[in-house]
Amino acid sequence: MIAIVLFGKPGAGKGTQAEFLKGKYNLTHISTGDVFRYNIKNGTDLGTQAKAFIDKGQLVPDSITINMLADEVAKNMDKAGFLFDGFPRTIAQAEALEKLLTEKGIKFVGTVGLEADDEVLVARILERGKTSGRADDQDEEKIRNRYREYNENTAPLIKFYEDRGVFTAVNGIGSIEEITGRLSNVIDTLI
């Protein structure tokens, strides 16, 4: 079993690409946003805990997030591996993920980062906002704030993974098919 982290700024295309890659490589796509929504909607113990923080406008502690992901991993041990999207977002989360994967006997093979210019991504998200229904996809200032947050807290993960020799950057601009092809070329070397 393997694990790959799909990395990139909001709007870089992680979710879109994960939909193609999960089928091609028989991977379970684990999106933290989807996992949070599922647990909250279904009133799980972890979902109730997370909702208490979210309702106060606070970040959900890493311990709750990693426990939700551990549950998802445990439920999906019948695939060739996992494709993580939206996690980790901090070095502490990356270390927690490494520990989880080691405990489950899953080989972490690499992080693939979708790279794109902020202005292109802002335009992409604003366009997505016309149909997504997400208020945070329709407000340019909120989008730019997400990039500031990413640059402060998540971008340091690039160096963290580069230092371990497990980071590959991929050009995230082009057609969906072109980007899928670039990602596939990298993943084929990892597995």
Active-site entry in 14, 22, 124, 182: 14
- Catalytic, 89? Answer yes
| Beta carbons of 136 and 146 less than 8 angstroms apart | yes
Active site residue 182: no
Task: Kindly report whether the peptide bond that precedes residue 88 is cis, defined as omega within 30 degrees of 0.
Answer: yes
Q: Is 107 a catalytic residue?
A: no
Q: Is 152 exposed, middle or buried (0-12, 13-18, 19+ CB in 10 A)?
A: exposed
Catalytic residue among 51, 79, 104, 128: 128
Tell whether residue 89 is among the known ligand binding residues.
Answer: yes
Phi/psi of residue 56, nearest 5 degrees: -90, 0
| 128 labeled binding residue | yes
Residue from 24, 134, 144, 164 carrying the catalytic annotation: 134
Catalytic residue among 9, 124, 146, 182: 146
Q: How far apart are CA 82 and CA 9, in angstroms?
A: 20
Task: For residue 154, say whether it is annotated as part of any ligand binding site.
Answer: no
- Residue 11 marked in a binding site: yes
Q: What six digits make up the tokens of 75?
A: 């439920």
Does residue 180 have a known ligand-binding role?
no
The yes-or-no answer on residue 14 being catalytic is yes
Which sequence positions are flagged as catalytic? Answer: 14, 89, 128, 134, 146
Binding residues for AMP, as ranges, are: 32, 37, 58-60, 86-89, 93, 134, 146
